[in-house]
């Protein structure tokens, strides 16, 4: 059995001992050393070369953020997991920007700790193998892979993420006539069911409490059919019900859906929380949504940096929403700032979108001829086998034309 080697870094000796006790019975995880401050941690990593470092964020002298930056720079094959009592997203962003691969908030259980170490260690080893492997000659892709999971994400609210997820999922269901599932992973304030005029009797909160939740037949009982042919797994009806949903439950459900549905669209909370991180890990494509304003652009840039640290950048497809010729940031400025070209540019259509949301009917169904509905359809085609070749070339020409206008 291969083991994941771990170095524990914390200025409090009792905390280090507590972590070692939590990992004592994990046969595939081995603690090979410990350090009491950032400088000692850097020296220990250079000497021991552990797979994973568990790093406390608040320490005297060189803190966890500075130590993480030094470690990821000097020993890139070692992954850092930050540990803190802080729950604020700003701490998470600083940790990820410093090179950390994950973030644990105290107190945590032994299973949470072990699962995080395994996931981070596994991803780090895969990245190393990819970097060391010879680059194969690129073959022209003729088909899109089946059973794709599309995660729609932004850490900023108000950019139209849920609206995009709903209309994209409906478009996939309508155009492909395949099995398509839409999962609302914004557990405390999800609105997918509301936007699709679905009144759920049971949600993901009830599903995870079922004994046979590992059976697709049971999961299907919690998927509500939409008139488009789409199946929807709603978020809990009350925010407090989100507490019963664990990361392991989400991972199991998403894997089960991926094995039984051609397309799975996941709408996420506007934050890099544990549930979102799990979905991002399982995603085939990450649709990063942003709008043409400075706050959204700043947030998108940070999101891209964090996703790069999480080894997820290759999955990202940027989607510019609410684009307008007036008062918005130009496409050239967006490309320069983010370093990416949007896969899709969705025009501003505030009145139509608002009416669609209030009626609970996706605009791709009630206004299929509108420009924004056509753009959603074109976006969906990127994930279909027939989306290659001439269709993509045609879209690239249209986007080039748009870039001159914006």
What's the pLDDT at 91? 65
- pLDDT score recorded for residue 388: 38
Question: Average of pLDDT values for 182-207?
Answer: 93
pLDDT category of residue 396 using cuts at 50, 70 and 90? very low
Nearest C-alpha neighbor of 377 from the set 340, 346, 333: 346
Say whether the peptide bond before residue 349 is cis (omega within 30 degrees of 0). no
Instruction: Please state, for a pLDDT cut of 70, what percent of the chain lies above it.
Output: 86
Euclidean distance between CA atoms 385 and 355, whole angstroms:
33
Please identify which residue in the block is written with the tokens 């992973």: 185
pLDDT on residue 335: 87
In degrees and rounded to multiples of 5, residue 195 shows phi and psi of -70, -20
Q: What is the pTM of this model?
A: 0.66
CA-CA-CA-CA torsion for 19, 23, 29, 32, nearest 10 degrees? Answer: 40
- Higher-pLDDT residue of 361, 401: 361
Q: What is the mean pLDDT of residues 304-322?
A: 92
The mean pLDDT value for 235-241 works out to 93
pLDDT at 176 over 80: yes
Burial 88-121 (b: 16+ CB within 10 A, else e): eeebbbbbbbbbbbbbbbeeeeeebbbbbbebbb
> Are 92 and 103 contacting, i.e. CB atoms less than 8 angstroms apart?
yes
CB-facing half-sphere around the CA of 381: CA atoms within 13 A: 17
Average pLDDT of 262-288? 95
**Residue 39 clears pLDDT 90, i.e. is over it:** yes
Can you spell out the DSSP letters for 215-265?
SHHHHHHTPEE-TTS-EEEPPPSSGGGGGG--HHHHHHHHHHHHHH-SEEE
Inter-residue contact 341 to 311 (CB < 8 Å):
no
Residue 341 or residue 405, greater confidence:
341
Q: In what order do the strands lie in the sheet with 263-268?
A: 224-225, 231-233, 180-185, 263-268, 148-153, 285-290, 316-323, 344-347
Instruction: Please report which confidence band the pLDDT of residue 404 belongs to, taking 50, 70 and 90 as the band edges.
Output: very low
Residue with tokens 């899109």: 144
Query: When comparing pLDDT for 400 and 226, which is higher?
Result: 226
Q: What is the pLDDT of residues 54-74, one digit of tens each?
A: 999 889 989 899 999 899 888
Query: Predicted confidence band at 325 (pLDDT cuts at 50, 70, 90)?
Result: low
Region 233-253 average pLDDT: 93
- Kindly list the domain boundaries of the chain, sorted by start residue: 4-130, 148-405
pLDDT score of 29: 95
pLDDT of residue 127: 65
The region of weakest confidence among 86-90, 375-379, 383-387 is: 86-90
Mean pLDDT of 251-256: 94
**Fold matches, 4-130 and 148-405:** yes
Q: What is the pLDDT at residue 348?
A: 87
Q: Write the CATH number of the domain with boundaries 148-405.
A: 3.40.50.300
For 4-130, CATH gives 3.40.50.2300
Q: Name the most confidently modeled range: 35-49, 78-92, 105-119, 218-232.
A: 35-49
* Average pLDDT of the residues of the chain: 85
């Amino acid at each position: 059995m291969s083991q994941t080697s771990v170095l524990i870094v914390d200025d409090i000796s009792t905390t280090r001992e507590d972590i070692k006790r939590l990992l004592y019975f994990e046969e595939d995880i081995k603690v090979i050393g410990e350090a009491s401050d950032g400088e000692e941690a850097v020296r220990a990593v250079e000497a021991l070369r552990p797979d994973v470092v568990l790093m406390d964020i608040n320490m005297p002298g060189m803190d966890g953020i500075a130590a993480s930056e030094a470690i990821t720079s000097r020993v890139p094959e070692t992954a850092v997991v930050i540990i803190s009592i802080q729950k604020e997203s700003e701490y998470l962003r600083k940790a990820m920007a410093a090179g950390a691969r994950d973030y644990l908030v105290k107190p945590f259980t032994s299973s949470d700790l072990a699962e995080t170490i395994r996931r981070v260690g596994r991803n780090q080893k895969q990245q190393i193998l990819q970097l060391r492997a010879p680059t194969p000659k690129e073959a022209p892709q003729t088909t899109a892979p089946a059973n794709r999971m599309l995660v729609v994400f932004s850490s900023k609210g108000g950019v139209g993420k849920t609206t995009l997820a709903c209309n994209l999922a409906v478009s996939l269901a309508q155009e492909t006539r395949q099995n398509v599932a839409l999962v609302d992973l914004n557990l405390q304030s999800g609105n997918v069911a509301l936007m699709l005029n679905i009144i759920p009797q049971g949600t993901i909160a009830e599903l995870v409490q079922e004994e046979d939740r590992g059976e697709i037949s049971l999961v299907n009982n919690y998927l509500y059919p939409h008139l488009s042919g789409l199946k929807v797994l709603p978020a809990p009806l009350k925010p407090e019900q989100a507490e019963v949903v664990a990361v392991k439950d989400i991972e199991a459900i998403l894997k089960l859906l991926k094995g039984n549905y051609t397309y799975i669209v996941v709408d996420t909370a506007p934050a890099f929380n544990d549930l979102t991180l799990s979905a991002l890990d399982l995603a085939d494509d990450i649709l990063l949504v942003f709008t043409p304003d400075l706050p959204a652009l700043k947030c998108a840039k940070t999101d891209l940096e964090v996703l790069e640290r999480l080894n997820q950048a290759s999955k990202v497809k940027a989607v510019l929403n609410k684009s307008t010729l007036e008062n918005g940031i130009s496409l050239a400025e967006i490309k320069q700032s983010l370093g990416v070209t949007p896969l899709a540019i969705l025009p501003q259509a505030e009145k139509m979108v608002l009416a669609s949301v209030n009626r609970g009917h996706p605009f791709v169904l009630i206004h299929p001829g509108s420009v924004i509905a056509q753009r959603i359809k074109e976006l969906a085609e990127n994930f279909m086998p027939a989306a290659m070749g001439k269709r993509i070339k045609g879209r690239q020409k249209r986007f080039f034309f748009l870039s001159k206008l914006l």
